[in-house]
Structure 1
Amino acid sequence: MPKPKLSTIHPRRLAGGLLLLASITTQVLAADNTLIAVTEPWPPYNTFSNADTADGAHALILQRALALSGLTAPISVYPWARAMALAQSRPNTLLLSVARTPAREQQFIWIGKLSQTQQFLWRLDTATHGPEASLQQILRCCSICTIRKDVSEEALRQQDSEHSMQLVLTGSHHDCLRLLRSGSVAYMAGSPYRIQTTLQQSSLPATLLHKTTAIAPVRTLFLAASHGTPGVTVSKLQQAMQQLQQSGEHDRILQQILSRPLPAAADSNAANPPANPP
């Protein structure tokens, strides 16, 4: 008796279905006015055990602030561009960890500090290093990969006065690393800790990439809230974040999580870039 044929789903239909599901989920969230929190996969700050669970240091600080405030909010992990879009369009939404920049000052209600970060450009390390190119030279000549809606994208666009930059936007630092290793881009943007954890999760040596020029000053990462979030909610969370800072619990949570070794990335392709990346 012949075996029944297995049905297959065309990749375009699958992608369309996923986009439809994401759109429906966003609409449901927008219709529901309960307090929620959104973030991105970023070990060990927002995530730790895996890319879908908000159990990193900043997420734990938020959970403690919610408990002290007598509030509850589920923390969902999305690509950064989607998390930003939700926090900019849906009232009663918390966002972490967002760098406070002049361009973003009026976009959110700033609740409390989480940590600090600084963005640099990175290239593949070579045996011999010539004179280091300046940021403006790199912007004029070379392709750069960064994360869509990330603070590094904002900083690079602000400094691209000649509008000559070759900027490639992706959804994750692992994607940028693949493009860099395949030769599709010359540089990628990221903070030292972000680069360190990306290489570590990809089972790659820390010496693979060479840090070049800074693209922005040191920025403070915040817990923020969307406009339309009730003032009483904002006030309770601001007081709780201040209490965590003053008691030293904020720093203890950071130190506890940052001292743990990171698990390997679930993406098995992270350490082996495809021959022809998309």
Structure 2
Amino acid sequence: MYLKFILATVVALHLGGTWAAKADTDLSRVQVITSFYAPYSYSEDGNTQGIAVNQVRRLLAELNYFPTIKIYPWARAYTTALNAPNTALFSIARTPEREEMFHWIGEIIGFNVLLYRHKNRDDIQVNSLSDLKKYKVGALSKDVKGQYLNTQGIATIDINNEETGIKMLQSNRIDLLPTDRHSMEYRLKQNGIPADSLVPVFPLKDISKPLYIALSKDTDPEIVAAFREAYKRAFP
């Protein structure tokens, strides 16, 4: 019995020390931001929600931290995370170019990127990336999809959001639009557009990888450590 008491006391002291250390970490300095990317993150009735939002809230719950998750256009969210300390950003692609720009916490959602065209544009045929040079390709500003195509020598036309991109496809102002399959299906349904109006013509396998939550480079090391430990608990 005495040995059991000693062991229980040691464990209690250890756990107490762990939770005390967490309590000393001032998480109120951390702003959590995302971008409009339904069904992963979007605003409805003034509330930020979506598949990725739910995943991040699961992580934040492990920290006993329940902030308002701000939602911005992607370019603003990305620029904010690059420049503001103690900023958590999701959902962001982890690329070699971005590797040293952030503290990477962990994967949040899957990502399946394809290039879409209007169903009536049978003249658009894509068998390789080099074929894209013949077409007008839209892409979100500062988004990984456009950045990837640019590194492959493909010029892109900046669009503010993917709803705009869909409208531009429908009116033939652009020929192709790269987007995630689930996101495209969701947007077509929400806007009352037949699901077969836009069809995938080519996969972008190099960037079809899970998206992450990351912290800005100037984030307090204690906060980074707390987030990483919380991620391990939330997603063992």
Q: TM-score range by the shorter chain?
A: 0.7 to 0.9
| Counterpart position of 1:203 | 192
Counterpart in the other structure of 1:240: 230
Does the aligned pair in 1 maintain the 2:62–2:234 contact within 8 Å? no
Cα distance between partner residues in 1 of 2:201 and 2:137:
12
Q: Structure 1: any 5+ residue segments left out of the alignment?
A: 1-32, 247-278
Which position in structure 1 is the counterpart of 2:39? 44
Q: Give the distance between the partners of 2:100 and 2:41, measured in 1 at CA.
A: 24
Match of 2:136 among 134, 143, 151: 143
Checking the alignment, whether the CA contact within 8 Å between 2:138 and 2:159 is kept in structure 1 is yes
2:48 is aligned to: 54
Deviation of 1:48 after TM superposition, in Å, equals 5.9
Aligned to 1:154: 147
Structure 2 distance, partners of 1:66, 1:74, is 11
Higher strand fraction (1 or 2): 2
Change (3 A) 1:149 1:130: closer
Are the counterparts in 1 of residues 85 and 217 from structure 2 also a CA contact under 8 Å? yes
Q: Which residue of 2 aligns with 1:88?
A: 82
Q: CA deviation at 1:195?
A: 1.1
Deviations 1:68-91 (A, max 9, x none): 113343311100000000000000
Q: CA RMSD in A?
A: 2.0
Cα separation, partners in 2 of 1:113 and 1:35, compared to 1, 3 Å: same
CA distance in 2, matches of 1:83, 1:190: 18
Moved more, 237-246 or 168-177: 237-246
Distance 1:128 1:107, change over 3 A: closer
Structure 1, 177-186 or 209-218: larger mean CA deviation:
209-218
* Stretch moving more, 114-123 or 181-190: 114-123
**Structure 2 runs not aligned, ≥5 long:** 1-27
Map of 2:104 onto structure 1? 110
Contact 1:155 / 1:216 at 8 angstroms: preserved in 2?
no
Partner deviation per Cα, 1:106-137 (whole Å, 9 max, x = no partner): 11100111022132211011396786443211
Task: Return the match for 2:160 from 158, 171, 187.
Answer: 171
Higher mean displacement: 117-126 or 61-70: 61-70
The question of whether the paired residues in 1 share the 8 Å contact of 2:114 and 2:201 is answered with yes
Task: Specify the alignment match of 2:11 in structure 1.
Answer: none
What percentage of aligned pairs have identical amino acids? 25
2:178 to 189, 210, 218: 189
Q: Is the 8 A contact 1:91 1:228 kept in 2?
A: yes
Matches within 5 A, 1:266-277: none
SS in 2 for 1:44: coil
Q: Deviations over 1:146-173 (max 9, x none)?
A: 111111011101111xxxx442111211
- The TM-score with structure 2 as length reference comes to 0.81
The TM-score normalised by the length of structure 1 is: 0.70
Paired residues of 1:37 and 1:74 also in contact (CA < 8 A): yes
CA distance 1:231–1:206, shift in 2 (3 Å): same
| Equivalent residue letter for 1:36 | Q
Deviations 1:256-278 (A, max 9, x none): xxxxxxxxxxxxxxxxxxxxxxx
Q: 2:43, 2:71 within 8 Å by CA — same for their partners in 1?
A: no
Residues 1:101 and 1:241: Cα distance change in structure 2 (over 3 Å): same
Deviation, structure 1 residue 213 = 1.4
Which residue pairs with 2:59 in the alignment? 65
Q: Is the 8 A contact 1:36 1:73 kept in 2?
A: yes
Larger radius of gyration: 2
SS at match of 1:37: strand
Ranked by relative contact order (alpha carbons within 8 Å, sequence separation 6 or more), the top structure is 2
